[in-house]
A and B are shown apart, each in its own frame.
Chain A
Amino acid sequence: MVHRANASHVGSCFSSVDVLAVLYGRVLNVRPDQPDWADRDRFILSKGHAAAAVYAVLAETGFLPMEDLERYGQNGSSMMTHVSHRIRGVEFSTGSLGHGLPFGVGKALAARRLGADWRTFVLLSDGEMDAGSNWEALMFAAHHGLDNLVAVIDYNKLQSLTTIAETLALEPFADKLQAFGWDVRELDGHDHDTLYDALSSTPWTPGRPAVVLAHTVKGKGVSFMENRVEWHYRSPNAELLARAMAEVRGDDA
């Protein structure tokens, strides 16, 4: 998809696709044949630049025909390279960072007011935690005891120009989140079983929203992309695409 569209953000897709696979494969209570089913769990991709990963997962789980992925980033298509609500199964368009968590807070609050049982999940990037709007939302969710809200932070430790540590350090990250009133679990964001255990068991404490600090690797699964900041923006040429596909498929194993 990214190669065909000559689009960016493939590294960010690989860092978060395991979280998405666990959410859509095992955790979210959704119906692919009924994307607007009222009692579904809500999922919001706040790091909208990982749209390719979400579209791929939606296709894999039956929300979209697989051939729709060929329209990704193509001229005249509505399959934007930042996630779009015009695509079946997508709740909310993002692209500008710092929007998903406040919106998710509104959904979680609505569920509470409506007496509904569904949960709201928001996937954020680590770099977008620079945005003050997220810390406003963290405060609000804790203050209102929104334990039907789950945030997952894709903590790959790279931003678009350099590392998190060199840009605006987030550490001690877990302590900050805890201090804002959230229950925090740190785990390997590529380990499906660990992710499943955490994401399927919220609220961990009644009355407290949950945040998974998912330690991930940008470009995970493709050796020449892993932990390389340039793969925030680059798309693979034909030769690199072939190498990447071989590695992802495990042809070298």
Chain B
Amino acid sequence: MRNAFIDELVTAAAADPRVALVVGDLGFSVVEPFATRFPDRFINAGVAEQDLMGLAAGLASEGFHPFVYSIANFPLFRCAEQIRNDVDYHELPVTVVAVGGGLSYGALGYSHHAVQDYGLIRLMPNMLIAAPGDPAEVRACMRYLMAHPQPSYLRLGKAGEPLVHEAIPDIAPGRWVPVREGTGTATLLTTGATLALGRAWLERPEFAGFSLHTLPLWGLRHKGSQPAQVSRWTHVLTIEDHLADAGFGSWLAEACSGQVSGTRLEVRALSHEIFGKVGDQHTLNALGGLR
């Protein structure tokens, strides 16, 4: 996903002089293609994330579209107030890019585990959440964000996520994208890096006949479009590599509360059992309940 991101960013920057990449002393072996080609628009603010987010907002207020890239917890939890007050409230086109969404930095421990990020960002009314599930979705999200600059959060995995889509999918905020059609009235719905997990689960007997849908663009503003889509199904099972509390499934359940009847909504997410443990992403996901 990181490589698809930087590739799209370089292409976008070549076409649009407003695109800037701002990093907090992170991105070794990822950001070089941008930094080399656009040195004036590559800014390493150092290990100083609050300044980083504030200055990105300042750049955005003068017409730039900064992509603020770091490992998830640094530009999010460290900068929660800068995102809330400076970016979201002022509706500035800053895209906060978190690398290592979910448990992709599993071995690095709790500080680097991004399993509470949706909960924080989805409270920001203007932030569009872009949580792509494979490199094709990264490209789709990047193209959407370039065409619609706005306060936004792009949640990347790390590298090596399998390609699920055969082509770059057509995406729109709040709209479920079919990945595989089923034979019944039930679906798996994923956001973020659990797309591949959802595809694997389709092979299990208990999900026979399920379809698979993905939702790479969502957020508080797009809750209203959910009940009509959910009502089509008798059973929707959400999958996310985030805590169940305040995550994606909770967002969908809130969106449908009092609006949908006759649909069983089931949330499959991580439990806090993973806190204090290290391991590879697959192992930690399983420990947390995604198995």
A99 at interface by CB-CB < 8 Å: yes
B90, A110: Cβ atoms closer than 8 Å = no
Q: Determine whether B236 belongs to the interface, using a CB cutoff of 8 Å to chain A.
A: no
- Whether B85 lies near A137 (C-beta < 8 A) is no
Task: Specify the chain A residue showing the minimal Cβ separation from B82.
Answer: A99
Q: Which residue of A lies closest to B45 (CB)?
A: A140
Min C-beta distance of B230 to chain A, whole Å:
36
Write out, one digit per residue, whether chain A residues 156-190 have a CB within 8 A of any chain B CB (1) or not (0). Answer: 00000000000000000000000000000000000
Q: Please state if B89 and A103 are interface contacts (CB–CB under 8 Å).
A: no
Q: Which residues of A contact B57 (CB under 8 A)?
A: 102-103, 106
Residue numbers in B under 8 Å from A106 (CB-CB): 54-62
In Å, the complex CA distance between A214 and B59 comes to: 28
The answer to whether A95 and B51 have CB atoms under 8 Å apart is no
| Chain A residues, CB < 8 A from B46 | 136, 139-140
- Give the Cβ gap from A80 to chain B, nearest Cβ, in Å: 11
Can you name 6 A-B residue pairings with CB atoms under 8 Å?
A93-B89, A102-B55, A102-B57, A110-B59, A136-B45, A139-B51
Within 8 A of B (CB), among A88-105: 91-96, 98-99, 101-105
- In this complex, what residue of B is CB-closest to A134? B51
Chain B residue with minimal CB distance to A106?
B58
A44's nearest neighbour on chain B, judged by CB, is: B58
A113 contacts the other chain (Cβ, under 8 Å)?
yes
Q: Does B123 sit within 8 A of A, measured CB to CB?
A: no
Instruction: Count A/B pairs, Cβ under 8 Å.
Output: 92
Kindly state the separation between the CA atoms of A105 and B61 in the bound complex, as whole angstroms: 12
Which residues of chain A come closer than 8 Å to B134, judged between CB atoms?
none
- On whether the beta carbons of B82 and A137 are closer than 8 Å, the reply is no
Which residues of A lie under 8 Å from residue B90 when comparing CB positions?
Answer: 85, 92-93
Chain B interface residue bracket vs A = 20 to 34
Residues of A within 8 A of B55 (CB): 102-103, 105-106, 109, 137, 140
Chain A CB within 8 A of B41 CB: yes
- From 57 to 71 in chain B, residues with beta carbon under 8 angstroms from any chain A beta carbon are 57-64
B contact residues around A140 at 8 Å (CB): 45-46, 48, 51, 55
Q: Mark each residue of chain A from 52 to 72: 1 if its CB lies under 8 Å from any CB of chain B, else 0.
A: 000000000000000000000
Given A85-B90, A113-B40, A105 contacting B48 (CB threshold 8 A): no
* Residues of A in contact with B (beta carbons under 8 Å apart): 85, 91-96, 98-99, 101-111, 113-114, 132-133, 136-137, 139-140
Tell yes or no: B81 within 8 A of A by CB.
yes
Residue positions of B touching A, CB distance < 8 A: 40-41, 43, 45-46, 48, 50-64, 81-82, 85-86, 89-90
Residues of B within 8 A of A94 (CB): 85
8 Å CB contact of B48 from A103, A107, A136: A136
Query: Which residues on the A side are within 8 Å of B63 (C-beta)?
Result: 110, 114
Residues on B with C-beta less than 8 A from A95 are: 85
Minimum distance in angstroms from B176 CB to a CB of chain A: 35
Q: Is the CB of A110 within 8 A of B50?
A: no
User: Are the CB atoms of A102 and B54 closer together than 8 Å?
Assistant: yes
Pairwise interchain contact A133-B64, C-beta atoms closer than 8 A:
no
A139 and B48 in contact (CB under 8 A), knowing A105-B54, A106-B54?
A: yes
Q: What is the CA–CA distance of A103 and B60 in the complex, to the nearest angstrom?
A: 10
B contact residues around A114 at 8 Å (CB): 62-63
Specify the chain A residue showing the minimal Cβ separation from B50: A133
Contacts of B48 in A (CB 8 A): 136, 139-140
How far apart are B37's CB and chain A's nearest CB, in angstroms? 15
| B19: min CB distance to chain A, Å | 12
Question: By the criterion CB–CB under 8 Å, are B58 and A105 in contact?
Answer: yes
Q: Are A133 and B51 CB-contacts (below 8 A) given A99-B85, A109-B43?
A: yes
**B51–A91 touching, CB < 8 Å:** no
- A111 adjacent to B62 (CB under 8 Å): yes
- Which of B43, B54, B56 interacts with A99 by CB under 8 Å? B54
Inside 8 A of A108's CB, which chain B residues have their CB? Answer: 58
- A93–B89 CA distance with the chains assembled, in angstroms: 9
Q: Which of A98, A101, A107, A133 has the most CB of B within 10 A?
A: A133
**Complex-state Cα separation, A139 to B41, whole angstroms:** 19
Tell me if A102 and B50 are in contact (CB < 8 A).
yes
Nearest B-chain residue to A101, judged by Cβ = B54
CB distance from A11 to the nearest CB of B (A): 24
Asked if B61 contacts A113 (CB within 8 A), the reply is no
Q: With contacts A93-B89, A140-B48 known, is A133 near B62, CB below 8 A? A: no
Chain B residues contacting A104 (CB-CB under 8 Å) are 58
Known: A93-B90, A136-B50, A139-B46. A102 touches B58 (CB 8 A): yes
Most chain A CB within a 10 A radius of its CB, from B41, B51, B59 = B51
Assuming A96-B85, A140-B46, is B54 touching A103 (CB within 8 A)? Answer: yes
